[in-house]
Amino acid sequence: MSPLIQIQNLRKEFNEGASTRTVIHDLNIEFSEGEFIVLLGQSGSGKSTLLNLISGIEKATAGTVLIKNTAITELRERACTLFRRDNIGFIFQFFNLIPTLTVLENITLPLELAGKKGKDLEKQALSLLDKVGLADRYNTFPDKLSGGQQQRVAIARALLHQPMLLLADEPTGNLDEETGEKVLNLLLELTRGANKTLIMATHNPEIANLANRVLRMQDGRLQEVITREVAA
């Protein structure tokens, strides 16, 4: 079986005045379906940039990213946006919920913007809210929720379109330790149960204990630290 993600000779450079700074150095790596991969590294090491390159949010200077044999690095902007919408879910550190929309509206908005509406969409969203323990808060606005609850809404939003790949950038970084642990366990339960691939950037080494693979990023280069079998 071919890997879900293939990264080949990937490089990202930023122009800074008269000089060029390389943040990802000719990276070659593969990720399989159902894996939970942790990217460890300090701020500025290139973790977030790598997630953005995998998703096509940022364009690579050189190299290829293949997801399910689709070279997203070759896609035009519109095609890349559509591919990301249909296949990739994002979870951010700061939740990115819209304050003027209810919990339910926040979850369904991305698919509504894609032209998908109706009772079936609402039913799917309510089912996800039930799974994240917020079924009774569907009509609540984000400012009435705790940080942990807001992140659970963000997880439901990221999973509504049933992506094969989930990218999480410091998803527990804005939460206290206890809440962060609960959110992480919930995220793993929902992704592993559906055999989704989860790539998480974090500076928290304790999260690495739960991963199938742990990669340390330093100065734009990856070093494999731990590899464990994916549970059947």
What's the domain range around 108?
A: 35-57+76-227
Count of structural domains within the chain: 1
| Residues 129-145, mean pLDDT to the nearest whole number | 89
Q: What is the mean pLDDT of the chain?
A: 87
Q: Coil, helix or strand for 219?
A: coil
In a domain, 29, yes or no: no
In a domain, 69, yes or no: no
User: Residue 187: pLDDT band by 50, 70, 90 thresholds?
Assistant: confident
In a domain, 30, yes or no: no
Which of 132, 130, 137 has the alpha carbon at shortest distance from 104? 137
CATH code at position 216: 3.40.50.300
Distance CA 66, CA 152 (A): 29
Which of 69, 70, 4 has the alpha carbon at shortest distance from 37? 4
Structural contact between residues 3 and 165, judged by C-beta atoms closer than 8 angstroms: no
Which pLDDT value is given to residue 43?
81
The answer to which of 49-63, 133-147, 195-209, 218-232 has the lowest mean pLDDT is 218-232
The answer to whether residue 97 scores a pLDDT higher than 70 is yes
- The whole model's pTM is what? 0.87
In a domain, 112, yes or no: yes
Which of 210, 202, 174 has the alpha carbon at shortest distance from 40? 202
Which pLDDT value is given to residue 232?
45
In a domain, 64, yes or no: no
Which is more confidently placed, 103 or 205? 103
In a domain, 129, yes or no: yes
Distance of CA 119 to the CA centre of its chain: 27
In a domain, 159, yes or no: yes
User: Residue 49: pLDDT band by 50, 70, 90 thresholds?
Assistant: very high
Which is more confidently placed, 172 or 36? 36
Type of residue at 140: T
